[in-house]
Amino acid sequence: MLSKAFFLLLVLFFSSCPPSLFSLDGKDAGFLNMVESRSFQYFVKCVNPANGLVLDKASNSKSPDYKYAPASIAAVGFGLAALPAGVERGWISKEAAEEQAKTTLKFFSEKMESEHGFFYHFVDMETGKRVWDCELSSIDTALFLAGALTAAQYFEDPEIKKLAKKLYDRVDWKWMTNGSLFLDMGWTPEKRFIPHFWSDYNESAIMYVLAMGSPTFPLTAQSWAAIKRTRGRYKNHELILSPPLFTHQFSHAFIDFRDKRDAFADYFKNSVQATLANRQFCIDSAESFKTYGKDSWGLTASIGPDGYKAYGAPPGPAQHDGTVAPSAAAASIVFTPEYSISAMRYWYFKYRDKLWGRYGFADSFNLDRNFFAPDAYGINQGPTVLMIENYRSGLIWKLFMSRPEVRKGMREAGFGSAEGTQSGPTEPAVEMASYFLNKRPLIKTGEIDDAVMPEDVKLGAEVWKKAGETIELNHKYLQNGLNRQPDYSVKADLLANSRYVFLKFKVRDSEIISSHPEELMYEDDSLEVYIDSENNKFAWGGADDYQVIMSPATGGGMRVREFFHPERTAGACRIVDFSATALGYEAVLALERTVFGIGDGRIGFSLAARNIDRVLNSDAKFNWFFLEPATYLGEMQVEK
């Protein structure tokens, strides 16, 4: 009965629509029509008709409530861009869509709080006033503008066109740079500019294209060229690092990057590789988390059982806990059509009762935690609509790319044919460590007599022959960083008796950097020991968690300090021996077990190292095992 009802539903949804851009059979066309139309309803039902504001999130099972959440200006932008698709598909009349677009743009032009043309990230659904002391958001303003320009390109109403141009032209992109090459992430009346910039390749690509295309306050191509494009590799997939999938989707929902490249990359192919790497990482992690599999993948910013997280996959630091967001696969349909459609079908038929609702797929789910998100989010439903429509007809791409401002921005950025003569990347890709819960490592300490005191375990002492397996940090454990020193390594041996745990380090480092005071020594060449004494997930500053940092001192010797509970641990962690060597240095650390809560048996444990080199201009962090966002450390078994 389910199958029959489902296909009857497809017949009802499937109607005369724009021609398909990609090859689609009838079954896929009907299914995608259903998913897109349900997601589109978010931008009809969750909109305040008086001002066009769109809820940041809404219950996927109940009627929308304007007090449930504030409005998101990025969601407004996605909604404006979705209106042409809704009209073409017959889900909303052209008159109603045109009125919604006009109402929205008039409200933003005349009544919304703004500064230098930028809008606040979140605002009240009724008044448009700033909420949560949030920032004027550069990226969210850009996404709103992208939607406004798309709508203006579609609708004939001259007032819509005039309002969209007015809103775009008044944005002072130069002001938002705060005197730098890059756009700042935001501004608040209380603290002024946020001390962070859009200096790496990510979802900000569309913002830079709009900024370079501005007829009033344009940025130059120098800003775009200066963006860092760190390349990484996971398995056979090489790409510019940016772990959450939304960072590879938001700009692409508007900009048609196919068959184009600048001096640095083919960004469409880059997003294909990012999506394939994301899926492969989920497959590789399937033994650790029930949610993951070949047809259940997609790590992106979404709600999870422990709150909203920027989930992502390697290459780069990968935060994940078994939570999958359907929008991650759905909005990647132009990159991985077969895999994306297969995933959506799997979720619909397998989990429809819990995951499917008023606006299509809920935001996320996690089988290990028996968590199914109750809500849908505008910034995830929006890309789902736009990308499925682009896959089916290319409509959003055609509208946005026909804007003269966009064409100018693309020219300024240096985009040309992918078959042209532009140079490719010159820096080699880095392969970063990936951590899998089912491969959580265990190290056992060597057992020594209780009579052994710290003065007995100095470098070269016979007692170190009783140490067990050695931990070695090398290129395989690179957590993140640039220009890694090729021969850098850290070897660690462990011993324990009933009073102490001893760690002996042998560091190979061609250039020792030690220029910061003790309270900032983690900015220098340093070693770190993470301890989760209860073995119940590590938390920064947790009552039973510790971070011991050691760093060579400028005048010789080794500094050591525990950073979470310095008063409690004062004197309980100390360097008992240190020696500079021709290739680096060696040291011995003693930890008092009672102070650090190290009982018999297993505790959470990891060893990390930071390597700074001026000669190589490198800054690299190595970690034995550090699975975020939970956070799981490796394990140490105390053999005493």
Domains annotated for the chain, with CATH where assigned, are 2-430 (1.50.10.140), 440-638 (2.60.40.1190)
pLDDT surpasses 90 at 524: yes
Please report the pLDDT score of residue 417 as a whole number. Answer: 80
Dihedral pair phi/psi, residue 195, rounded to 5°: -80, 40
Residue 205 has pLDDT above 50, yes or no: yes
Sheet arrangement for strand 136-137 = 136-137, 186-188, 192-193
**Residue 218, preceding peptide bond in cis (omega within 30° of 0):** no
Distance CA 631, CA 625 (A): 10
Q: Minimal CA–CA distance to 330: which of 246, 209, 423?
A: 246
Angle at 517 between CA 515 and CA 518, to 5 degrees: 120
Beta bridge partners of 545: 532
Mean pLDDT of 357-375: 98
CA 215/CA 212 separation, integer angstroms: 9
Taking CA atoms, 126 is separated from 107, 287, 435, 462, in Å, by: 11, 47, 45, 74
pLDDT in the model for residue 432: 84
Whether the Cβ atoms of residue 351 and residue 295 lie closer than 8 Å to each other: no
CB 376, CB 60: distance < 8 Å? yes
* Residue 248 clears pLDDT 80, i.e. is over it: yes
Residue 421's pLDDT is 45
Give yes or no for residue 269 having a pLDDT over 90.
Answer: yes
Q: State the residue for tokens 């073409």.
A: 88
Whole-number Cα distances in Å, 231 to 226, 273, 428, 546, 626: 15, 12, 7, 33, 21
Q: Are 391 and 32 in contact (CB under 8 A)?
A: yes
Phi, psi (deg, nearest 5) at residue 360: 90, -140
Is the model's pLDDT at 10 over the cut of 60?
no
DSSP 8-class letter at 428? P
Residue 118 vs residue 428, higher pLDDT = 118
HSE, side-chain direction, 13 A CA sphere, residue 108: 35
> CA 485, CA 608: separation in Å to the nearest integer?
16
Place of tokens 């397998």: 350
Given a contact cutoff of 8 angstroms between Cβ atoms, the answer to whether 146 and 208 are in contact is no
Task: Give bridge partners of residue 246 from the DSSP assignment.
Answer: none
H or E, element range at 36:
helix 26-40
Work out the pLDDT band at 23, boundaries 50, 70, 90.
Answer: low
* CB 511 within 8 Å of CB 615: yes
Task: Please state the rounded mean pLDDT for residues 336-345.
Answer: 98
Task: For 80-113, write each residue's pLDDT tens digit.
Answer: 999 999 999 999 999 999 999 999 999 999 999 9
Tell me: pLDDT of 187 over 70.
yes
Q: If we measure between CA atoms, which residue out of 373, 371, 279, 281 comes closest to residue 318?
A: 281
- C-alpha to C-alpha distance for 205 and 195, rounded to whole angstroms: 20
Q: What is the Cβ-side half-sphere exposure of residue 534, based on CA atoms within 13 angstroms? A: 9
Write out pLDDT tens, residues 403-445: 999 999 999 999 988 765 455 555 677 778 889 999 999 999 9
pLDDT in tens, 296-312: 999 999 999 999 999 99
pTM: 0.88
How much is the average pLDDT of 206-232?
97
What is the pLDDT, as a whole number, of residue 13? Answer: 40
Residues 6 or more apart whose CB falls under 8 angstroms from that of 223 comprise 177, 181, 182, 183, 208, 211, 212
- β-pairing verdict for 430-431 and 231-234: parallel
Q: What percent of the chain stands above pLDDT 70? A: 94
Distance CA 571, CA 592 (A): 9
* pLDDT value at residue 283: 98
Virtual torsion, Cα 385, 388, 392, 396, nearest 10 deg: 50
Q: Residue 12: what pLDDT?
A: 40
Spell out the alpha helix ranges (H) of 41-90: 42-45, 73-89
pLDDT score for 21? 60
> What is the pLDDT confidence band of residue 483, given thresholds at 50, 70 and 90?
confident
Residue length of the chain: 640
- Give me the chain's average pLDDT, please: 93
Instruction: Give the residue, 512 or 24, on which the prediction is more confident.
Output: 512
In this predicted structure, the answer to whether residue 492 has a pLDDT above a threshold of 70 is: yes
Catalogue the E-assigned strands of 367-445. 371-372, 375-377, 416-417, 430-431, 442-444
Check pLDDT > 90 for residue 272. Answer: yes
pLDDT digits (tens, 9 = 90+) for 589-636: 999 999 999 999 999 999 999 999 998 888 899 999 999 888 999 999
The answer, yes or no, to whether residue 5 has pLDDT greater than 70, is no
